[in-house]
Amino acid sequence: MSSDTSLRPDSASAPANPAPARGSLPLPAGDAYRHSLQIGGRDLKSMVLAGYAWLEQHKETVNALNVFPVPDGDTGTNMFLTMRAAWREIDHSDEDDVGRLAQAMAQGALMGARGNSGVILSQILRGMAHAFRHKPAITGADLAVGLRRGSDTAYKGVVKPVEGTILTVIRAAADAAQKAAAVEDSVPFVLAHTVQAAGEAVEQTPRLLPVLAKAGVVDSGGKGLFYILEGMQRGLNGESMTPAAELPAAEAPPALTLDPYNLPPVRYGFDVQFLLWGAALQVDEIRRWMIENGDFALVEGSSTLVKVHVHVFDPSAPLAYGLRQGFLTDVVVENMDAMAAAGQTPDDVKDELSIAPGHVSLLAEHVGPIGVVAVAPGPGLAEVFESLGVGGVISGGQTMNPSIQELWDAVDALPIDEVILLPNNSNIIMAARGAADEAARRGKRVEVVPSRTAPQGISALLAFNLQASLEENVAAMTRALAAIDTGEVTVAVRDAEIDGLAVKTDDVIGLLNDTLTTVATSPEEAVFDLLAQMQAGEAEIITVYYGDQIDAATAEALGARLAGAYPDQEIEVIAGGQPHYHYILSTE
């Protein structure tokens, strides 16, 4: 063993008898374990749980690093949901073979991957699993090989790799792992230097990616990966899963003390959430029941799994209804009046449905020899896609990026072997390609037309021809993407300075083809600014899709103003129903 101490971790940093975190598996204690040559599947499982838990504690920190101040499928949330899918795949496993455990974990991450960052993370795990596939236990050198394979797989999975991102961080981590393994072949030793190199690489990302330097942040995906690796190291060392000292402590919710003789008034009732499993669930009927019997109902899913969220005064009612329909899991019941008494509001209730995509609508009568599945950010836009003949629509978009599994389920539900997938969001394209890869493994051919916005997807559909081949349709639909300019109006969710535009939280902002181009005093002013930038006076048709926060009267009034400003253009105002974005515009 080398005497090079520059790479040797400080053995005094680990507690003599570490107590495993709640829910983790027990780890051997002491310096002997820190320098053991190899770990088995149970050790790896503890490390994965720790990485998942550590990322969960820091996901909002990662979310805050997103460069653009728009409401979107935040990086921290997407990576957290991907890690959660990986953990759930191995949660109840007693497997002690590293190779088999890693394969299961990678498959869970792959199918649960959301957003570009989640897909890249799943590729890293897939590459590592491939390197471990025949190994019941792994040494530090094996870990280094796995990290290198994970890095290579992630780079290959990105059409145009960009440095200064999570790709740079995983490559630097793999480099450090290989260097450390040449000095000491133990997992704790190699992992310690992997984490150190990942942290240093994260801090260097602004030097490699100018947009990060301008925004004054490091890369969010790289930071998320660092937290996963750091959490795995902490779990391996038996350390607690508490936030690092340099991070601001999260503000604790107000403590609730109830006086039984002076109870709070009943105003809000209960927030009820659960998953409903079954073989032939009727999503529309379940949704109808929840709407009729509660408030703020959100029911999305498929014939086999439905997510339910509803506010009611009697929590037993939706639970009893759910039990009559199928099998309940993940039941959460929150007393919102108790929350209000503690100084919170019902809006503080967080549930997975606010970030999870919705149900798939299958339109069998529209299915021809080639099917099309489109992602739609709102019910009105879903109706537009349905009217244009798609075979299936999956609800999703900003803040609710569908996973690879959900995209695959939508494709698989079509009774044909050739399908075109329209992601209609830049942060869903990689997941769509992941679904296409999954389809290929299962004998179905799926091609992705990389539409970045709903208007682009609509333009692509107008170029679709049932008499043409799959290849001809993909080529024509891809060419049609360039014919459409897209404008989007929303509200900034954080302070930022992008390309000379200073934005404050809650400012109205406009984006042209995914680029922030205007800050306005009202959504309607932003619409006019964007249309001027889009040279709408030279277009034939101006289409405005208004979101769920705009009423029909306001939208009609805007349409009248646009007709006066653009008398030579055909103006269409359509209820898109998309959340977060007041207006989505297109010119053609």
**Rg of the Cα atoms in the chain:** 25
Query: In this predicted structure, what is the pLDDT of residue 286?
Result: 92
Q: Look at residue 62 in the predicted model and tell me its pLDDT.
A: 92
Which residues of the chain carry a pLDDT beneath 50? 1-35, 242-254, 345-360, 362, 364-365
Q: What are the backbone angles phi and psi of residue 581, rounded to the nearest 5°?
A: -105, 115
Which helix (DSSP H) or strand (DSSP E) does residue 375 occupy?
strand 371-376
- The CATH number given to 270-352 is 3.30.70
Tokens of 238: 């038996």
Q: Domain 6-236's class?
A: mainly alpha
Q: Nearest CA to 499 among 220, 219, 210?
A: 210
Q: What H or E segment, with its residue span, contains residue 439? A: helix 429-441
Give domain limits for the chain: 6-236, 270-352, 360-481, 485-587
**Strands of 305-312's sheet, edge to edge?**
295-301, 305-312, 270-277, 327-335
Under 8 Å between Cβ of 128 and 149: yes
From CA 201, how far away is CA 446, in angstroms rounded? 36
Q: Are 102 and 44 in contact (CB under 8 A)?
A: yes
Rounded CA separation 503/537 (Å) = 28
Both tokens of 405, joined, read 């599994």
Burial group, residue 213, by CB count within 10 angstroms (0-12, 13-18, 19+)? middle
DSSP-based three-state secondary structure for 485:
strand
**Which architecture, in CATH terms, is 360-481?**
3-Layer(aba) Sandwich (3.40)
Report the distance separating Cα 470 and Cα 136, nearest Å.
44
The class (CATH top level) of 485-587 is alpha beta
Q: What pLDDT is recorded for position 354? A: 38
Residue 464 has which token pair? 């679709």
Identify the DSSP state of 82: H
For residue 260, the model assigns a pLDDT of: 72
